[in-house]
Amino acid sequence: MDADSDVALDILITNVVCVFRTRCHLNLRKIALEGANVIYKRDVGKVLMKLRKPRITATIWSSGKVICTGATSEEEAKFGARRLARSLQKLGFQVIFTDFKVVNVLAVCNMPFEIRLPEFTTNNRPHASYEPELHPAVCYRIKSLRATLQIFSTGSITVTG
Amino acid sequence: MAARARCPECGSGSLVEDAHYAQQQLVCAACGCVLSEGLLTTTYTDEEHLREVAYSQSTGQKEQLSRCLQRGIRRVQDLCKVLQLPAVFEDTAVSYFQRALQLPAFHLVSLEKKELLGGCCVFVACRQHRWPLTMGTVCSLLYARQELFASVFLSLQRELGLSVPALSLADLVTTHLNSFRLVQPTASVPVPFLEDKEQLLARTMAIVELASETWLVTGRHPVPVVTAAAFLAWQSLRPGPRLCCPLARFCRLAGVDLPPPAHLRLRELLEILLGMASQLSWLRGFRLDKRTVVKHIGDLLQHRLLLLKRAFSQQDGQGQQDTAPGQGSGQAPPSSPAVAQRQGCPWAGKQQRGGSLRPLLPPCLIHPRKRPRPAAPSAPAVALTGDEPISDSEIEQYLRSPEEIRAFRKAKAW
């Protein structure tokens, strides 16, 4: 790859994880009975509810904590979380949409070149950690940004944080 | 016994402590009068005050360590003895274990995890001292699941802030081949299958280096690559009687486990070797396959740098191949044999074959198994803010109708 070449890199956000609280106790059995697109996991005490638009999956606990995953942007995540809160309101719970927070964003990027991971790890210690027996990618941590990058030999990079 | 100031017999003041048959006596030095005698036997109360080394200080030192810590340290020491590690490794591992067990992250974990923690400390100590020990070996010694071992190892690395150097492939090859039983004659190994250890090691190392240059090692578990490389090296050193021996039988004779990916690594190595063999001038007339190419591994390794450049396109790939013949004929000076060789004959030879050079890329890019990732969705016409109003009709689709609720209740799903 030449230094002068102007290659645009596409960074694609594939997942946004957010949490919010309903400030009320939720009857999981009632949600499982009266809600559609719901999976009730009685053994672990949670309910999974899937929305079509936006395409997100919500994990609901009886304490009122809800985790939403699957959105492709922070705005979409908030919209989906509000839709879910509204659905719970319709089911009869006194839901108050509070403490909304985006906790994790996962993005993928492809480099136009391959990367020799052992040499990369040697040149980037202590940030880079490479254990081929465990995972085929180098784990590169940026403490200041609280981000973790998974760097594969094909040039694909997954950013989490 | 209270010492008297003066002797009652002679009134002398010179009194001495003397031991007669281990019995303490207070005696007058002038007349020899015994003023008082000590006890031959002592009571527990007397001993309590005369003890020099307290029990808790002598054998009780270990009692200051908790039972869990003592057991863990013993386990670490046993593991070091089984692996025949030097004493400094054991000291390092024990110190890591003691430090780790004081941290809240490891203090209240299950006993199984504490045992794995000891194994992780030994593993980290070995890696820091450049001792080639794989996770698979430690997991097999501890009868542990690799996923659990991996999570404990990563937690230990994070909590203690340890710097763990990468596993050296050269050391791993040496250690792995040391466990092979093909170097000494035994009843189970036929004579044609015996091999000199140094020759096997040198050739295996060369094949492993070739594998690392051709993207076969990056991102992969190292042991299957080493096993496949050792198999090819062993076959190539005496192809005649050994070509008919498959990889599984080789591993059985050598007394090592056959890791499942070794077959795939072997296939990839043979593909690379066949590509290189097509560029070796004295082999061009032959039709080689994956069995016959093994006979020529020695020659291929000797000229591997040149053959890799000729047989595979580097990073620029196809573009260079398309423009090279045109440029080579017009611009290459005849006095530059290297340039002519690079741009003239190989391209011409390749063009005669009617194929283009295979790019030197990781195998997962050449043979992709997954479906290509769908293109990024185009930006919506109206950008979401997250605070749009939500109509009731949108929510109705996520709620069951009363009839459905009655049907579910009737079915008594729970």
3-state secondary structure of A77: helix
Of B134, B157, B400, the CB nearest to A133: B134
Considering only CB atoms, which chain B residues are within 8 Å of A83? 390, 394-395
Q: Is A119 on the interface with B (CB under 8 A)?
A: no
- Contact yes or no for A132 and B221 at CB 8 A: yes
Considering only CB atoms, which chain A residues are within 8 Å of B217? 118
B226, HSE (Cβ side, Cα atoms, 13 Å)? 22
DSSP 8-state secondary structure symbol assigned to residue A62: T
Taking the C-alpha atoms of residue B163 and residue A17, their distance in angstroms, rounded to an integer, is: 31
Kindly report, as residue ranges, where domains of CATH 2.20.25 are found in chain B.
1-46
- Contact yes or no for B399 and A34 at CB 8 A: yes
Are residues B246 and A145 in contact, defined by beta-carbon separation less than 8 angstroms? no
Taking the C-alpha atoms of residue B184 and residue B193, their distance in angstroms, rounded to an integer, is: 10
Helices of type H across B278-360: 297-302, 304-311, 318-331, 337-343, 345-353
What's the gap between Cα A50 and its chain centre?
15
pLDDT along chain A (161 residues), means of 10: 61 92 91 88 91 90 93 91 90 90 93 89 87 90 91 92 88
Of B134, B365, B373, the CB nearest to A154: B365
Taking the C-alpha atoms of residue A90 and residue B10, their distance in angstroms, rounded to an integer, is: 115
| ipTM here | 0.74
B398, B399, B412, best to mutate vs chain A, most A CBs in 10 Å: B398
The residue written with tokens 């799903």 in the block is B413
Distances (CA, A) of A58 to A17, A20, A62: 10, 10, 13
Are residues B346 and B356 in contact, defined by beta-carbon separation less than 8 angstroms? no
Tell me which H or E stretch contains B18. Answer: strand B15-20
Q: Is A132 on the interface with B (CB under 8 A)?
A: yes
Q: Nearest-CA distance from B276 to chain A in Å?
A: 21
Taking the C-alpha atoms of residue B269 and residue B336, their distance in angstroms, rounded to an integer, is: 33
Q: Nearest-CA distance from B58 to chain A in Å?
A: 44
DSSP 8-state secondary structure symbol assigned to residue B109: S
Are residues A130 and B166 in contact, defined by beta-carbon separation less than 8 angstroms? yes
B159, HSE (Cβ side, Cα atoms, 13 Å)? 20
Q: Nearest-CA distance from A12 to chain B in Å?
A: 7
- Per-residue pLDDT, B49: 54
- Does residue B86 have a cis peptide bond before it, meaning omega lies within 30 degrees of 0? no
Fold of B1-46: N-terminal domain of TfIIb (2.20.25)
3-state secondary structure of B242: helix
| Strand pairing report for B358-359 and B312-313 | parallel
- Residue B134, φ and ψ in degrees, nearest 5: -95, 160
Q: Is A52 exposed, middle or buried (0-12, 13-18, 19+ CB in 10 A)?
A: exposed
- Per-residue pLDDT, B353: 43
**pLDDT of chain B along its 414 residues, tens only?**
444 568 888 888 888 877 666 667 788 888 888 877 765 555 555 555 555 565 545 555 555 667 888 888 999 999 999 999 999 999 999 999 999 988 888 888 888 888 899 999 999 999 999 888 888 889 999 998 889 999 999 999 888 888 888 888 888 899 888 888 877 777 778 888 888 889 999 999 999 999 998 999 988 899 999 999 999 999 999 988 888 899 999 999 888 889 899 999 999 999 999 988 888 888 777 788 888 889 999 999 998 888 888 888 765 444 344 444 434 343 434 443 433 333 333 333 433 444 567 778 888 888 776 666 555 555 554 566 777 777 777 777 788 888 888 888 888 655
Of B384, B396, B409, the CB nearest to A76: B384
- Contact yes or no for B218 and A117 at CB 8 A: yes
3-state secondary structure of B278: coil
Residue among B298, B119, B305 nearest B214 (CA): B305
- Per-residue pLDDT, B379: 52
**Could you give the domains of chain A?**
11-106 (3.30.310.10), 111-160 (3.30.310.10)
- Per-residue pLDDT, B392: 74
Q: What is the largest CA-CA distance in chain A?
A: 61
DSSP 8-state secondary structure symbol assigned to residue A93: -
- Contact yes or no for B219 and A117 at CB 8 A: yes
Of A35, A116, A125, the CB nearest to B398: A35
3-state secondary structure of A46: strand
- Amino acid identity for residue A8 in this structure: A
Kindly report, as residue ranges, where domains of CATH 1.10.472.10 are found in chain B.
67-165
pTM score, whole prediction:
0.70
Considering only CB atoms, which chain A residues are within 8 Å of B134? 133
Domain spanning B67-165 has what CATH number?
1.10.472.10
- Contact yes or no for B409 and A42 at CB 8 A: no
CB pairs under 8 A between A and B: 107
- Contact yes or no for B400 and A36 at CB 8 A: yes
Q: Is A30 on the interface with B (CB under 8 A)?
A: no
- Contact yes or no for A34 and B390 at CB 8 A: no
**What is the residue-wise DSSP string for B331-352?**
H--TT-HHHHHHHTHHHHHHHH
Tell me which H or E stretch contains A149. Answer: strand A147-151
Are residues B258 and B227 in contact, defined by beta-carbon separation less than 8 angstroms? yes
| Strand pairing report for A138-142 and A65-71 | unpaired
Q: Nearest-CA distance from A48 to chain B in Å?
A: 13
Distances (CA, A) of A115 to A1, A54, B315, B357, B372: 12, 36, 11, 21, 20
Are residues A72 and A102 in contact, defined by beta-carbon separation less than 8 angstroms? no
**What is the residue-wise DSSP string for B25-50?**
EEEETTT--EEEE--SS--HHHHHHH
Of A10, A33, A86, the CB nearest to B409: A33
- Contacts with B, A 97-116, CB within 8 Å: 108, 113-114, 116
Considering only CB atoms, which chain B residues are within 8 Å of A116? 218
Are residues A147 and A159 in contact, defined by beta-carbon separation less than 8 angstroms? yes
- Per-residue pLDDT, A101: 93
- Per-residue pLDDT, B58: 58
- Amino acid identity for residue B10 in this structure: C
